[in-house]
Amino acid sequence: MYCLSRIFVFRDPGEVESMADYTIRSLDRHNEKDRCAWARFMSHAPGATIFHLPDFLSYHQDRFHEHHLAIYKGEELFGIMPLAIIGQDGVKTARSPYGASYGGMIFSSLPTYDASKRIAKELICYLNAAGVKQLIITPPPGIYYPSYSDTFIFSLLEHGFRHVNSNITSVVKLVDNIERDLYNMRARRAIAKARKAELHIIEQADLDIFWGLMEKTFARHGTKPTHTLMEFKYLQAVLPAHVRVDIAYKDATPVAGIAYFKINDLVNMSFYICSDPEYRDLQGVSLIVHHGILNSLQAGFRYFDLGTSSINMVGNEHIFEFKENFGACGCFRHTYLWEADS
C-alpha cells in the first residue's frame, strides 16, 4: 500500500550518506495507543494547534470518515495530519482540516528541502493508493509557529499542488501598552463609553447564558454557529484549558460575550463574539474584546487572533474596520489543492 524508497544523497565527492525512509501510516483516534502517541506528539510539536488534537476532533464523533495520517522517519514519529475522506460531487476528496479552522501537516521539527520533497512524494503515492482524487489542505498561518518555514508548502507546489484560496485572519500583535500603541481613537472612545456605563465582565462565565447571546447574534444575521451548544459544552469539558467564555454585563443583564480557543502557547483566538442588539450602544463588544486582548498579553501569548475577516477572498469591510480599530493586521490563511492525474 505504501510507496517506500531508499535515497542516497551525495554530500561531497565520494561520500554517500544513507538516509532514513519516510513512510505514511494511518492513525485511529479510537485506538488508545494511537491516541496517546498522537496527543504526546502534539504536546511538543511546533505549530500544533487545538484543531490538530484528537480530543478536539472527537467532538465530531463519527460523523466523518476519518483517515488521519502519521509520517514516520524510520521508526520515529515525525509528522501528523488530521484528515477525513469525503465523497464530494462523486469525487473521493480528502480534507485537512475537516470541521475545524486549520489542518495540514505538523512536524516534530522543520523539515529540510530534501525531507519535504520525499514526504510530498510519499503523500501523493499514499493518496493514489487509497483512491483519493483530491486533497484540500489549509495549514496554520506562520504566526502559529515559534519558527516558520514555507519549504514544505513549496515542495507540495512542486509536486502538483495548487494555491486555490486565501483569506485574511485579523491578528493583534501583543505589546506592552496596548491602548496607546495599537488602538485608534474610535476603539479608545468605545471602551471609555463602556466603562462609563459601568459594564463589568464575568470570566469563565455560564455557557448557557453565553449561548443566549449567541442565538440573538446569529438570528440577526440569519445564520447558525459552527457548533451546537452541546458540542461546545463537550469541547469545554474535554479541553478546559483551551476553551472558555467571558460575558460583559450591565448590572444583571448580559450584553456581550466572547468565546476563546487557546490555539497554542503563542496564539489566543476569539472564536465567537456575540451581543444583545438591544444594548449595542453600550459598547459591550468593544470592552470584552479589549479585555480579551489584555488577558492574552498578561498570559504570555504573542498574538490575539480575531478570526477571519473575509470569505472566499471577499473581504467584509465592517469586520475589517472593527478589528483594525484594535490594531489588528491581516495574516494570510492559504488553502491548497492536489488533484490526481485523470
Listing DSSP states for 101-145 in one string gives S--S-EESSPPPHHHHHHHHHHHHHHHHHTT--EEEE-PPPGGGS
Q: State which amino acid sits at residue 318.
A: H
Q: Does residue 340 lie in a domain region?
A: no
CATH number for the domain harbouring residue 293: 3.40.630.30
Q: How far apart are CA 107 and CA 324, in angstroms?
A: 33
264 and 120 in a common domain: no
Range(s) of the domain holding residue 219: 170-332
Does residue 267 contact residue 275 with C-beta atoms inside 8 Å?
Answer: no
219 and 121 in a common domain: no
297 and 224 in a common domain: yes
176 and 106 in a common domain: no
Q: What is the pLDDT of residue 153?
A: 98
Q: What is the pLDDT of residue 19?
A: 54
Domain final residue pick, 130, 160, 190: 160
193 and 281 in a common domain: yes
121 and 95 in a common domain: yes
Domain final residue pick, 105, 130, 160: 160
Domain final residue pick, 138, 160, 182: 160
Q: Considering the entire predicted model, what is its pTM?
A: 0.90
- Count of domains in the chain? 2
203 and 134 in a common domain: no
96 and 147 in a common domain: yes
Q: Does residue 342 lie in a domain region?
A: no
85 and 203 in a common domain: no
CB contact set of 139 (below 8 Å; sequence gap of 6+): 102, 103, 104, 105, 153, 334
Q: What is the dihedral of CA 169, 59, 29, 70, to 10 degrees?
A: -10
73 and 46 in a common domain: yes
150 and 236 in a common domain: no
243 and 94 in a common domain: no
Q: What is the pLDDT of residue 222?
A: 87
Could you give phi then psi for residue 214, rounded to 5 degrees?
-60, -45
Could you give phi then psi for residue 212, rounded to 5 degrees?
-60, -40
CB contact set of 159 (below 8 Å; sequence gap of 6+): 117, 120, 121, 124, 338
Sheet containing 76-81: give its strands across.
22-27, 68-73, 76-81, 106-107
Q: Does residue 117 lie in a domain region?
A: yes
Q: Does residue 18 lie in a domain region?
A: yes
**The residue count for the chain:** 342
Q: Does residue 74 lie in a domain region?
A: yes
Which parts of the chain sit beneath pLDDT 50? 1-18
